Amino acid sequence: MSLFQAILIGILSMCAASTIACLGTTVGNYTMNRPLVAGLLVGIVMGDVSGVIQVAIPMQVMWIALVTPGGTVASDLRAVSYIGIPLAYVGAKAAGMDFSGPEAQGLASSISAMTGVIGITLFYGTAMMNLIWQHWGWAQLEKGNIDCLGTVDVILPLISHFVLSFLPCTLLCYFGAGAVEQVFQNLNTDVWYIKAILTVGSLLPAVGIAILLKSVVSKMTDLIYFLFGFALAASMGLTLLAATAVGAAFALVNYQLTMSKANGGSGGSDDFDDEEDI
Amino acid sequence: MAEKKISQKTLNTSFWRWWYGNLTCFSQEHMQTFGYMWSMLPIIKELYPTKEEQIEKLNTYSPFFNTEPQIGGLVVGITAGLEEARANGAEDIDDEMINGIRAGLMGPLAGIGDSLIVGTYIPILLGIALGFAEGGSALGPLFYIIVWNVTEILFERFIYKKGYELGGTAVDLLVGEQATAFRESVIVMGQVIVGAMAASWVSVGSPLVIAKDSTGADVLLIDKLDGAFPKLLTCIFVLLAWFLMAKKNMSPVKVLLLYVVIGFVGSVLGLLG
C-alpha cells in the first residue's frame, strides 16, 4: 500500500471515527463508519471496489447493531472499518483467496472482532483527550466568552482525531500492509491453527447477531418471533427482504390488536391518522 | 413590547448545529453537553440583547446531557420553544423547569432511539444493503448511504420542528399510546428479521461423524441436527450468546472472547469447523 493510500484511509477514519466522528453522528458514525460503507470507500482508495466490499460484508455482519448505551462501547468500528478492512483485504489477496469464499470470510470475521475490540482504546482515548478542550471551554465560559463554544465543540476535537484516528490508522495501514502480505503469501490454510482461526471466524458472527437480538428482545416470549424468522429463512428459504414483508404483516396485526384493546375493544382502528416516519 | 420570535434562519442554524455537533466533542464526563450549548447559542443570542443575559441563559444548558442524539433533536426543539416563551416573559419557565424536562426526557428517548433507530431501523437497512452488495456490488453501500441519510435528516428535522411548535406535548409523538403501540409493533418486525438474519448470515458447522450407515458412508451429526431443525447448531450458538449477555449480564467483549476459545478448542477437537 502506498503512503498516499494510507493517508487517504487515515483521513476517512477521522471523518468516520466511532460516535465522536468529525463528520457528525449521522454522516460520520452511522454512515461512513459502517463497515459496508467503508468497504466502498476503502475499495475506491485501493482500486478494487468489488473485492473490498466482499471482504467488508462479513465484517459488517459481525457488528450489525452497535448500540452504545451511556457511552460504553463493545467495539470501535473505526478500527474495524479503516484498519481491519484494508488489512484483511491485503491478506486475503496475498494468500490468493476467493474473496467471497469461506476462508476469506472467516478470516475477515476474525479480524473484524479483533480490531473492533482492540480499537476500543482509540474510542476512550479520543473521549479522554476531548476533556482537555472541554476544560478550556469551561474556563472560557466562566469568563463570559460564550463564543468559544464552536471552537470547543468542532475545531479542537480535530486534534484528538488527528492523534487517535489519523495517526494509528495511517501508520498501521502503511506499515502493517507489507507485514500482512508477507505472512499471507506463504499461508497454508490446512494447518490446524489456521483452521481454528477460520472456525472462530464462523462462530463470531453469532455474537454480533446476539447483540442485535438483545436490543429487540425484552421478554422471553419475544424469542418466538426470533425463532419464527429463523425458520422462515433456514427452513423455508425466504430472503431477508421477503422475511421483512412477513414481519411487517405481523407488526400490523400487533398494532391493530393493541389499538383495539386500547379503545376498549369497540372502535377498531378508527384513528389511523398518524403515519410516523421512523 | 413586541413579542419575540425566533427566526426560521436561527432555528435552522440551531438544528444543523445539533445534527452535526451533538457528539463531536464527546467525553465520558460531559457527553453531549457542549453540542447542546453550541446549538442553543444562536437562539439565545437572538432572544436576549445583553451579554449578561446571554451568559446567564446559556448557563441553563450547562448541566450534563446525553441521549440517543438523533431522536434527541426533539429535546433541543422543545427547549428552543421554551426559551422563546421565557424571553416573552412566561414566569413559570425557569432553569429548573427546563432542566427537569431535559433530564426527564433523555433517559426514555435514549431507550427508544437505541432500540428503534440503532437497534432496528439501521440493521434492517444494512440487511437490505448487504443483500444488494452480494458479489461485491457498490449498489449495496450506495443504497444504504442515500436511504439512511435522507430519511434520518427528514425524521430529525421533523421532530425538532414538532418539539419547537408543540413544546412538552410533542413527547406524545414518541411515547403516546398510539406511538407506543406503533413502536412495539415495529420491534415485532425487528424480531422476525433478526431471526432471518441469523439464519442467513451465520453458519456454524461441525465435521463430527457419529456413525457409519449401511453403505459405509459417514453419518454426520450436523446432518441429523439439520434434519430436526435446519441450522439448529447456528441457532443454539446465537441464543447462547444472547442468553449470556441478556440474562447473565456478560459484556459483549467477554462473550466474544469465550466464543474465540470455544471455536478454537472445538476446531482442534474436531467438533466444530
- How does pLDDT run across B130-177, given as a tens digit for each residue? 989 988 999 999 999 999 999 999 999 999 999 999 887 777 777 788
- Identify whether residues A191 and A89 lie together within a single domain: yes
What pLDDT score was predicted for residue A85? 96
A273 assigned to some structural domain: no
Which whole number is the average pLDDT over B229-248?
95
Q: How confident is the model at residue A276 (pLDDT cuts 50, 70, 90)?
A: very low
Question: Identity (one letter) of the amino acid at A146?
Answer: I
The string of pLDDT tens digits covering residues B97-121 is 999 999 999 888 988 888 888 888 9
Confidence of residue B51 (pLDDT cuts 50, 70, 90): very high
Q: Kindly state whether residue A276 falls inside one of the protein's structural domains.
A: no
Q: Does A206 share its domain with A237?
A: no
Q: Decide if A20 contacts B27 (C-beta within 8 A).
A: no
Residue for cell digits 443504497?
Answer: B143
* The three three-digit cell numbers of residue A211, written as one number: 447483540
Same domain, yes or no: A100 and A189: yes
Same domain (yes/no): A165, A239? no
Contact (CB, 8 A) for A150 and B16:
no
Q: What distances in angstroms separate CA A232 from CA A24, A227, A238, B110, B205, one per listed residue?
A: 37, 8, 6, 31, 20
Do residues A153 and A90 both lie within one domain?
yes
Could you tell me what percentage of chain B is helix, strand and coil, using 3-state DSSP and rounding each to the nearest 5?
A: 70, 5, 25
Residues 172-201 of A with CB under 8 A from B: 192, 195-201
How many domains, in total, are found in chain A?
Answer: 2
Closest by CA position to B198, among listed B172, B169, B233, B167 = B233
pLDDT tens-digit series, residues A49-71:
999 999 999 999 888 877 665 55
Distance of CA A183 to CAs A90, A110, A213, B28, B174, Å?
11, 16, 36, 39, 53
Best of B157, B177, B197 to disrupt the A interface (most A CBs within 10 Å) is B197
The share of chain B scoring above pLDDT 70, in percent, equals 100
Please give, one letter per residue, the 3-state secondary structure of A171-209: HHHHHHHHHHHHHHHCCCCCCHHHHHHHHHHHHCHHHHH
Provide, rounded to the nearest whole percent, the portion of chain A with pLDDT above 90: 56
Residue A71's pLDDT is 58
ipTM of the complex, rounded to two decimals? 0.87
Which of A15-19, A55-59, A196-200, B220-224 has maximum average pLDDT? A55-59
Report the share of chain A in percent with pLDDT over 70: 92
Question: Could you tell me the pLDDT band of residue A278, with boundaries at 50, 70 and 90?
Answer: very low
Last residue of a domain, one of A195, A216, A237: A216
Q: Is B218 helix (H, G, I), strand (E, B) or coil?
A: strand
Q: Do A140 and A226 fall within a single domain? A: no
Q: A with B: how many residue pairs have Cβ under 8 Å apart? A: 395
Domain encompassing residue A173 = 3-216
**What's the confidence (pLDDT) of residue A197?**
84
Q: How far is A68 from chain B (nearest CA, A)?
A: 8
Residue B27 touches chain A, beta carbons under 8 Å? yes
Q: Contacts of residue B253 in chain A, CB cutoff 8 Å?
A: 74-75, 117, 120
Neighbours of A74 (CB within 10 A): 21
Which residues from chain A sit within 8 angstroms of residue B128, using beta carbons? 240-241, 244
**Residue A67 pLDDT:** 64
CA dist B155 → A64, A89, A208, B147 (Å): 22, 36, 27, 12
C-alpha–C-alpha distance, residues B190 and B13, integer Å: 35
| pLDDT tens digits, one per residue of A201-237 | 889 889 989 988 988 888 899 999 999 999 999 999 9
Q: Using CB atoms and an 8 Å cut-off, which of residues 194-233 of chain B contact chain A?
A: 194-205, 229-231
- In chain A, the residue whose alpha carbon lies closest to the alpha carbon of B53 is A144
Indicate whether A151 and A257 sit together in one domain. Answer: no
Listed in order, strand segments (DSSP E) in B138-215 are: 209-212
Predicted confidence at residue A264, as pLDDT, reads 67
Residues of A with Cβ-Cβ distance to B171 under 8 angstroms:
none
Residue A277 domain flag: no
Question: Is any Cβ of chain A less than 8 angstroms from the Cβ of B107?
Answer: no
Asked if A141's CB is within 8 angstroms of B189's CB, the reply is no
> In terms of domains, do A69 and A184 share one?
yes
Q: Are residues A225 and A206 in the same domain?
A: no
Tell me, yes or no, whether A189 and A222 share the same domain.
Answer: no
Window A:44-103, CB contacts with B under 8 Å: 49-54, 57, 60-61, 64-71, 74-75, 99-100
Kindly tell me if the per-residue pLDDT of B217 is higher than 90: no
Q: Average model confidence (pLDDT) for chain B?
A: 91
A106 CB within 8 Å of a chain B CB: no
Q: Residue A149 and residue B187: Cβ atoms within 8 Å?
A: no
**A273 has pLDDT over 50:** no
Q: Using only C-alpha atoms, what is the Rg of chain B? A: 26
- Cβ pair A277:B155 closer than 8 A: yes
Q: What is the pLDDT of residues B245-272, one digit of tens each?
A: 999 999 888 999 999 999 999 999 989 8
pLDDT at A269 over 60: no
Are A54 and B130 in contact, with CB atoms under 8 Å apart? no
pTM of the model: 0.88
Confidence of residue A268 (pLDDT cuts 50, 70, 90): very low
